[in-house]
Chains A and B, each alone.
Chain A
Amino acid sequence: MAAGVAAWLPFARAAAIGWMPVANLPMPVAPTTKNKRQDELIILNVSGRRFQTWRNTLDRYPDTLLGSSEKEFFFNEETREYFFDRDPDLFRSILNFYRTGKLHYPRYECISAYDEEMAFFGIIPEIISDCCYEEYKDRKRENMERLMDDLEDNKDSKLPNMTFRETMWRAFENPHTSTMALVFYYVTGFFIAISVITNVVETVPCGSMPNQRDIPCGERYTEAFFCMDTACVMIFTVEYLMRLFAAPSRYRFMRSVMSIIDVVAILPYYIGLVMTNNEDVSGAFVTLRVFRVFRIFKFSRHSQGLRILGYTLKSCASELGFLLFSLTMAIIIFATVMFYAEKGSSSSKFTSIPASFWYTIVTMTTLGYGDMVPKTIAGKVFGSICSLSGVLVIALPVPVIVSNFSRIYHQNQRADKRRAQKVQKARLARMRISKCGSSSGFLHSKRNGLNQSLELTIPYYKMKLSPQGSMEGDQQLKKPTSVLESQHHHLLHCLEKTTNHEFMDDRLYEQGYLRTSLQNFPSQSPSLSSEEGITGTCCSRRAKKNMQPLNATHSHTHNLQELSALHIQCGEQQPLKTSRSSLNLMSDESGSLNCKSSGLVTTAIISIPTPPSNNSRASPDAPPPPTPEAPPFLNPGSDVVKISAL
């Protein structure tokens, strides 16, 4: 029930006394309010700013955080107040919701921050009151569009396992992806231009026979024009068929506007071929040729401006409709008035009301051809009123259309800017930096033997590792690890112990790889290849995992060599294929574990060949990676190392 209505409940219940004398049945027992305590003030400390309110106020909405017992989790015993480490400015709106029952959305706040606060406090944003609802919805829509744009950017990335059909479709949709697509794009554009120019030139009178009037070029050089037309139509047909073949959903493609334009552009030619030189229908056939001009709309695939224009018109459909409607009304009114005003004058051109329509339209749009002019005084007066009102009626919807166009245009500009490569790179770099901090820290600390304090026994090979790592790790040795870091490392360490696997540095793998020169088993990235469909996440390029065989590193002991032997043995059972596509980008930067340069910090998991616990475990679910890591596709019998990017 709404907040304030709770205040009226005593009145409503008291008024129920009025029902008693006429009641047919005895009344139920009233609920007793147990330990009815006096209303007390509670203090809500939000990041230092103290808000105070009655407890009853908060209890009005029991399914939110503040209204339920969930707030007890935030109770601070010493200060006897509820402490929330959130934004105090946004908290104002939330508390006002409890007080007044209306949720308001402040205009200057970021929409996603607001949504997060609402989600935290358990309030559904849909109950925003009417005064702020429009603004909220607009901002939310803008945000959605921005997110959609981001998602669309990732569609350009080439998925390795695309079929030929998908590749073709991608080539058609984004011409800049491959050279073939670009060539195709320009060729079709060229032919569209040729076709349009041909259509135009066909009707130009070029040269005259001495005994005849000028004949248009089309009739003089019939074969040449026919050949041109045929060539163009063949190219268009081939293009249309190829698009039809490549479209992921053929039915939807056939219904789309562009395909209809394509069809309309090439159909007249075929109809002309089919039809004989029958005189009756050739008249109709000639009018069909006017549809050839639709070929010019095929340019909209090539021109972004044309697309924006079309999109604007589509989105301003209601304003255009309003314009049309008001114009029609005004035309009818003024045509009627002019007709009756001019009825008296002789030799008036205003023969009927529909005849006056032409005058009204020409006057209202301020064209003023002058083929119809009023002659009576009344006609002139009404004619002047007509032209004045015409200006107004046409000027009214135009700003709406203009503002719509401007909004769409700027959106497009923004999208283009975001698509620019360096923005993408900078953002990806930021994400990589934030993600690889933790894993590199862990490996550092391991190599430097800092984890020794967390372990009871130091494994044999770690001793071997530490002298190698201590070179560059000296400076890290001095760096104090924060409590958070040490706890995180402890956690990863526990995971290692649990799964009986170890994190390893891929750099050492590379060295070992070169040194031992084992056969390079191509590795498979199982999960990611299936996951590559969901490249919508922000880390699409980052999280390319691949499996590498455990090629023993030189520093490892016999157990690992044993392992590698085991691997060779069961290697045939596992045909794996490489997909080091993105790692290839970084392979030249192998070496330092510097996050900024290698973009992919890969850590590997070695399976320690202890027979009982020989489970090739999946990668750890360390906090950073959002995408799920490798699935346990490996059968327990194999020991395959997974290099996973953390």
Chain B
Amino acid sequence: MSSRRRRCKRQLIKFTQHIARLISGTLKSDNEDEELESTTERYQPENLEQLQSQTHFSRQELQLLYRGFKNECPSGVVNEDTFKNIYALFFPMGDSAKYAYFLFNAFDKDQNGSLSFEELVCDLSVLLRGTTQEKLNWAFNLYDIDKDGHITKEEMFDILKSIYDLMGKSIHPRLKEEKMDINQDGVVTIDEFIDSCQKDENIMQSLKIFDNAV
């Protein structure tokens, strides 16, 4: 309530200032400092040694990754729009907005709306150099949109739809959730997920193909 009152008061003050300026004929030169709220965040990552210890990357790899990252995002953080734009460039045929949104949420561990370099590189090390368990963990995190520990049918469908949207055609994805839901309670927990994936040879194989991506 008080914030609303404060806002109202602020706007009233602004309005009277405006009228006063109009009457006295001053030029609109001093207006910018009001509107200039600092929207520029700048973020510096932790130093190289710490990152080296936290991830499985070598020093050179981290240097390379950071250089590319900083070139693209000079401010040091990625926000959702940038992420969406980047994915739109990678998948120009389809609509990548939804998938980028899910991915962003999966990367953004602390849910603060922006990705720092550490978050990205930690996840990257998990995905590329981690154990199968960790990778499947990450995938579960991706599918679990509301991060409540269960994957419901709707969440699965949403994820699949967003992946198929990358192709550009509207295909109805085939659900594999029934296969995964062992105790048939309508949701998939993390253990069910990992168990069912480990039983599938194809999935195990394919988890390894990106190991040399950096």
Contact = CB atoms under 8 A, between A and B. Distances in A.
A12 interface: yes
A21 B103 contact: no
Interface string A23-35: 1111111101100
A336 B55 CA distance: 75
A18 B210 contact: no
Interface string B128-148: 100000011011001100000
B12 interface: no
A257 interface: no
A24 B193 CA distance: 16
A2 interface: yes
Contact of B210 (A1, A17, A39): A17
Given A7-B71, A24-B174, A38-B60, A18 B103 contact: yes
A25 B193 CA distance: 18
Contacts of A32: 212
A23 B193 CA distance: 14
Given A13-B213, A39-B64, A26 B176 contact: no
B124 interface: yes
B10 to A, nearest CB: 33
B65 interface: yes
Contacts of A23: 202-203, 206
B213 A14 contact: yes
Nearest to B85: A5
Contacts of A28: 209
A10 interface: yes
Interface in B75-107: 86-87, 89-90, 103, 106
A17 B107 CA distance: 13
Contacts of B123: 14
Contacts of B124: 10-11, 14
Interface in B36-95: 60, 64-65, 67-69, 71-72, 86-87, 89-90
Contacts of A39: 64
A18 B65 CA distance: 21
B64, B127, B206, B207: most-surrounded residue (chain A CB, <10 A): B206
A42 to B, nearest CB: 16
A4 B68 contact: yes
Contact of B207 (A9, A12, A20): A20
A270 interface: no
A17 B139 contact: yes
A209 interface: no
Nearest to A33: B212
Given A22-B160, A22-B163, A30-B209, A8 B138 contact: no
Given A11-B124, A12-B90, A14-B124, A21 B136 contact: yes
Given A17-B127, A18-B106, A30-B209, A7 B138 contact: no
Interface residues of A, number: 35
A367 B87 CA distance: 62
Nearest to B206: A27
A369 interface: no
Of listed A6, A22, A23, A33, residue having the most chain B CB within 10 A: A22
B182 interface: no
Contacts of A26: 202, 205-206
Contact of A27 (B103, B106, B193, B205): B205
A19 interface: yes
Contact of A7 (B69, B143, B156, B205): B69
B206 A10 contact: no
B152 to A, nearest CB: 15
A621 B15 CA distance: 80
Contacts, number: 96
A395 B18 CA distance: 27
B210 A14 contact: yes
A7 B72 contact: yes
Contact of A17 (B65, B67, B69, B138): B138
A19 B67 CA distance: 28
Contact of A10 (B65, B87, B193): B65
B88 to A, nearest CB: 10
Contact of A14 (B86, B127, B163, B203): B127
A18 B174 CA distance: 16
A23 B139 CA distance: 12
B214 interface: yes
Interface string A75-104: 000000000000000000000000110000
A11 B120 contact: yes
B159 interface: yes
Contacts of B90: 5, 8-9, 12
Contacts of A14: 123-124, 127-128, 210, 213
Contact of A5 (B86, B174, B209): B86
A578 to B, nearest CB: 66
A479 B36 CA distance: 74
B197 interface: yes
A178 to B, nearest CB: 63
A8 B72 contact: yes
Interface in A483-505: none
A20 B206 contact: yes
Nearest to B102: A18
A17 B205 contact: no
A16 interface: yes
A245 B214 CA distance: 76
Contacts of A27: 205-206, 209
Given A8-B68, A24-B174, A16 B138 contact: no
A55 to B, nearest CB: 12
Contacts of A10: 65, 124, 128, 213-214
Given A7-B72, A27-B205, A21 B139 contact: yes
A18 to B, nearest CB: 5
Contacts of A7: 65, 67-69, 71-72
A15 B136 CA distance: 12
B210 A16 contact: yes
Contacts of B65: 7, 10
Contacts of A17: 127, 135, 138-139, 207, 210
A21 B210 contact: no
B212 A30 contact: yes
Given A17-B127, A17-B138, A19-B163, A5 B89 contact: yes
Interface in B20-36: none
15 contacts: A1-B89, A7-B65, A7-B68, A8-B68, A8-B86, A8-B90, A9-B90, A10-B65, A11-B120, A14-B210, A22-B156, A22-B163, A26-B205, A27-B205, A33-B212
List the 4 shortest-distance A-B pairs measured between CB atoms, nearest first.
A7-B68, A14-B127, A27-B206, A4-B72
Interface of A: 1-2, 4-30, 32-33, 38-39, 99-100
Given A7-B68, A8-B72, A11-B124, 15 more contacts: A2-B89, A5-B86, A5-B89, A7-B72, A8-B90, A11-B120, A12-B90, A15-B103, A18-B106, A19-B163, A23-B203, A24-B174, A26-B206, A30-B212, A39-B64
